Amino acid sequence: MVQAKLGDTVKVNYTGTLQDGKVFDSSANRDPLQFSLGEGQVIAGFEEAVLGMTPGDSKSVTIPSEQAYGPYQEELVIVVDENQIPSDLSVEVGQQLQIRHKDGQAVPVTITNITDDKVTLDANHSLAGKDLTFEIELVTIQ
């Protein structure tokens, strides 16, 4: 039987959970996820888990944060004066915004705290620093 290798385009069904069992993403009720192995379209640990699988295979794999979205980086958390937020924008904890880096690049951030005059912005990916468990089923290799 054919095994998934670098360069193959694959389709997988998956469910991703955190250490506490909470589902953070799943292909359930959607089409299988399609990607090409070796092109960096998915996190490294996920791609590595699919390598060598054959269609119909299923596995459970825990991916350490270093092979997922990386470690949580405190230096990506900034506190700004509330007056640096556009006055027409109603802010709330959990809200996602984009800020412009000095080089003009848009950086997604999440508001994590609001005080009387300060707003805390976190540019870490929401899954940074977390080990992720995936149930993966290889559907097809193309």
> Looking at the predicted structure, is the pLDDT value of residue 52 above 90?
yes
Tokens of 52: 């060598």
Residues 58 and 79 in one domain: no
> Looking at the predicted structure, is the pLDDT value of residue 102 above 90?
no
What tens digit of pLDDT does each residue of 104-136 get? 899 999 999 999 899 999 999 999 999 999 999
Number of domains in the chain: 2
Q: Which of 116, 14, 18 is nearest to 65 (CA)?
A: 18
CATH number of the domain encompassing residue 50: 3.10.50.40
Residue 31 in any domain: the answer is: yes
Q: Quote the pLDDT of residue 16.
A: 98
Handedness of CA 77, 79, 82, 87 (dihedral sign): negative
Residues 84 and 131 in one domain: no
Residues 96 and 29 in one domain: no
Q: With bands split at pLDDT 50, 70 and 90, how would you rate the model's confidence at 56?
A: very high
Mean pLDDT over the full length of the chain: 95
Residue 124 near residue 76 (C-beta atoms within 8 A)? yes
Q: Quote the pLDDT of residue 86.
A: 85
Contacts of 3 (CB under 8 A, 6+ apart): 51, 52, 53, 54
Q: What percent of the chain has pLDDT over 70?
A: 100
CATH number of the domain encompassing residue 110: 2.40.10.330
Enclosing domain of residue 16: 8-70+127-141
What tens digit of pLDDT does each residue of 73-96 get? 999 999 999 999 888 888 999 999
pTM confidence score: 0.84
